[in-house]
Amino acid sequence: LPERKIRVMVAKVGLDGHDRGAKVVARALRDAGMEVIYTGLHQTAEEVVTAAIQEDVDVLGVSSLSGAHMTIFPKIFNKLREHGADDVLVVGGGIVPPDDREALRELGMAEFWGPGTHTGDIISFLQEAVE
Amino acid sequence: MSDLVARVRSGEIRAAGRLISLIDRGDPTAEIILPLIYPHTGQAFRMGITGPPGAGKSTLICALAREYLEVGRTVGIVAVDITSPFTGGALLGDRIRMQDLTRDDRVFIRSIGNKGRPGGLSRSVQDSMRVLEAMGKDVVIVETAGVGQTDVDVVDTVDVVVLVTVPEAGDEVQALKAGILEAADIIVLNKVDRPESDGLGSELQELVAGCTNEAGWEVPVIRTVAKTGKGVEELFNSLDAFENWLNEDDRLPARRKLQVEKELKKLVRQGMIDALDHTLAKTDVQDSANRVVAGEVDLYRAVNDLVKGLAVSRKGDATPLPL
């Protein structure tokens, strides 16, 4: 079989217009040979999950810099479960305080990266996790 | 396996998404499932939207899809974007222009990269479109990446080809003349709010004036501003007229038959080449090469001998290739 390409969706949810980080990560993942689908800004959790399922991605990466992460992520996990798609690896990036990270991890978030992260770390994590 | 087919048939997006992935990565399971999908296809209107990068294809598709939804027809979209030849990675961004459509469960959008499809892009796209048809989508649209031969291959498999171009693409129109322009059933000049548009508009009109496709359809040039929706209704009406025209006098089955014939020939040819490569023993070729280099026989004689040898090795059931 030919090499299987990792498919990743990079998404921004809600009233959060800061997408520089999401775009930097999207480009880094592309340059690592992955197929990256970027949804653009101002999506609802429902839209992001629908898109992720249509695109059948291995990884859903959500960037959150607005402080709404404790609303966004639980919604995403619920929607994924509704569609029987809870095998999609969900990761996050942006600003999330340590306590919240722990809570989200318990809900099923695989990993979270904050400012200053090396894109190489994200790439190797995803490559290993999707294997 | 047949479970996945039943789930696709019932419109489950999870199942359709999964099946397209199997097709896309050339998974052997796809070859088992596809024959079960085929009987449920053929009823959709298949549309190819092509044209240079940045012409506004995605935005136009989004606007068109809304028109189709308005008249009660569901829409499936396969959006092809560019894969990096260096890393094999891709940033598939067509969805960004179609954000509104994700909200509507009558629409299914799938993005794929234009390189690294094991069975070839054209095949991957066609089979993915079939999945969307089997899902019950009434109109299935493929957006090409806007580059290269694969675009021509892709538009060779649809019921209607829409070429989208822009005023600043003057030179590109020249380049398009010999290729995709000939395949277009409808031409769209998008972004006509730009000053240069008048010139190119008339140039295009001149180029296609009195141009008819092989079955006698006169190719219209439609001016749009996809972003504001200007001209979209006219394009929709033109597509509608084309669809009606196709449905008269058995034109649609005739067009599809021609396309399948072409595809069959292409695939058989490829199959023959593969089979030949397999049969042509390396040692025979090396022997012949040695004899040619040594001046014992000339190249053409050597070819003749090899071809005869191939025919014999197939127990005489094949006629030698004419030389």
* Per-residue pLDDT band at A1 (split at 50, 70, 90): very low
Residues of B in contact with A36 (CB under 8 A): 89-92
Is residue B178 scored above 90 in pLDDT? no
Mean pLDDT of B153-175: 78
Report pLDDT for B184: 87
The 10s digit of each residue's pLDDT in A33-74 is 999 999 888 889 999 999 999 999 999 999 988 888 889 999
Closest Cα in chain A to B28: A1
Is residue B297 scored above 80 in pLDDT? yes
The terminus-to-terminus CA distance of chain A in angstroms comes to 14
Residues of B in contact with A38 (CB under 8 A): 91-93, 95-96
When the pLDDT of each residue in chain B is averaged and rounded to a whole number, the result is: 86
Mean pLDDT of B241-249: 94
Mean pLDDT of B146-152: 71
Is residue B208 scored above 70 in pLDDT? no
Q: Are the beta carbons of A38 and B93 separated by less than 8 Å?
A: yes
Mean pLDDT of B247-259: 93
Please, are residues B13 and A52 in contact by the beta-carbon 8 Å criterion?
A: no
Is residue A2 scored above 70 in pLDDT? no
A55 by DSSP, 3-state: which?
Answer: coil
* Amino acid code (one letter) for B266: K
A87 by DSSP, 3-state: which?
Answer: coil
Is residue B288 scored above 60 in pLDDT? yes
* Per-residue pLDDT band at B176 (split at 50, 70, 90): low
Task: Report strand pairing: B186-189 vs B75-81.
Answer: unpaired
Residues contacting residue B67 through CB under 8 Å, at least 6 positions apart: B232, B233, B236
Please, are residues B221 and B187 in contact by the beta-carbon 8 Å criterion?
A: yes
What is the C-alpha to C-alpha distance for residues B111 and B90, in angstroms, rounded to an integer? 10
Q: Which residue has the tokens 């090499």?
A: A3
B66-80 exposure pattern, b = at least 16 Cβ within 10 A, e = fewer: bbbbeeeebbbbbbb
Residues contacting residue B52 through CB under 8 Å, at least 6 positions apart: B146, B165, B166, B169, B172, B176
Is residue B173 scored above 90 in pLDDT? no
Is residue B316 scored above 70 in pLDDT? no
**ipTM of the complex model:** 0.92
Please, are residues A11 and A79 in contact by the beta-carbon 8 Å criterion?
A: no
* Per-residue pLDDT band at B201 (split at 50, 70, 90): low
Element (DSSP H or E) covering residue B140: strand B139-143
Mean pLDDT of B261-272: 87
3-state per-residue secondary structure call for B197-237: HHHHHHHHHHHHCCCECCCCCECCEEECECCCCECHHHHHH
Q: Are the beta carbons of A38 and B95 separated by less than 8 Å?
A: yes
Our measurement of the distance from residue A2's CA atom to the centroid of its chain's CA atoms, rounded to an integer in Å, reads 26
Q: Are the beta carbons of B116 and A40 separated by less than 8 Å?
A: no
Greater pLDDT, B170 or B219: B219
Is residue B322 scored above 50 in pLDDT? no
Residues of A in contact with B95 (CB under 8 A): 37-40, 51
Mutate to test the interface with B, among A30, A47, A86, A127 (most CBs of B within 10 A): A30
Please, are residues B323 and B307 in contact by the beta-carbon 8 Å criterion?
A: yes
Task: Tell me the C-alpha to C-alpha distance, in Å, between residue A9 and each of A36, B65, B294.
Answer: 6, 23, 61
Element (DSSP H or E) covering residue B92: strand B90-92
B90 vs A35, A51, A84: nearest CB: A35
* Per-residue pLDDT band at A131 (split at 50, 70, 90): confident
Report pLDDT for B306: 87
A9 by DSSP, 3-state: which?
Answer: strand
The 10s digit of each residue's pLDDT in B17-71 is 999 999 998 899 998 999 999 999 999 999 999 988 889 999 999 999 999 999 9
Mutate to test the interface with B, among A8, A55, A81 (most CBs of B within 10 A): A55
Q: Are the beta carbons of B113 and A36 separated by less than 8 Å?
A: no
Is residue B310 scored above 90 in pLDDT? no
Q: What's the pTM value of the predicted model, to 2 decimals?
A: 0.87
CB-based contact (8 Å) between B3 and chain A?
no
Q: Are the beta carbons of A33 and B89 separated by less than 8 Å?
A: yes
Mutate to test the interface with A, among B14, B102, B110 (most CBs of A within 10 A): B102
* Per-residue pLDDT band at B116 (split at 50, 70, 90): confident
What is the C-alpha to C-alpha distance for residues B223 and B189, in angstroms, rounded to an integer? 5
Is residue B274 scored above 70 in pLDDT? yes
**What's the DSSP call for residue B115?**
S
Is residue B90 scored above 60 in pLDDT? yes
Greater pLDDT, B102 or B139: B139
- Percentage above 90 pLDDT, chain B: 52
C-alpha closest to that of B140 among B117, B172, B107, B170: B107
Tokens of B91: 């940033």
Counting one residue from A and one from B, how many pairs have CB atoms under 8 Å apart?
89
Q: Are the beta carbons of A56 and B118 separated by less than 8 Å?
A: no
Q: Are the beta carbons of B116 and A2 separated by less than 8 Å?
A: yes
Report pLDDT for A14: 82
Report pLDDT for B277: 80
Q: Distance, in angstroms, between A41 CA and closest chain B CA?
A: 8
Mean pLDDT of B133-157: 86
- Percentage above 70 pLDDT, chain B: 84
Report pLDDT for B171: 56
Please, are residues B147 and B173 in contact by the beta-carbon 8 Å criterion?
A: no
Closest Cα in chain A to B103: A47
Residues contacting residue A51 through CB under 8 Å, at least 6 positions apart: A9, A11, A37, A39, A43, B95, B102, B109
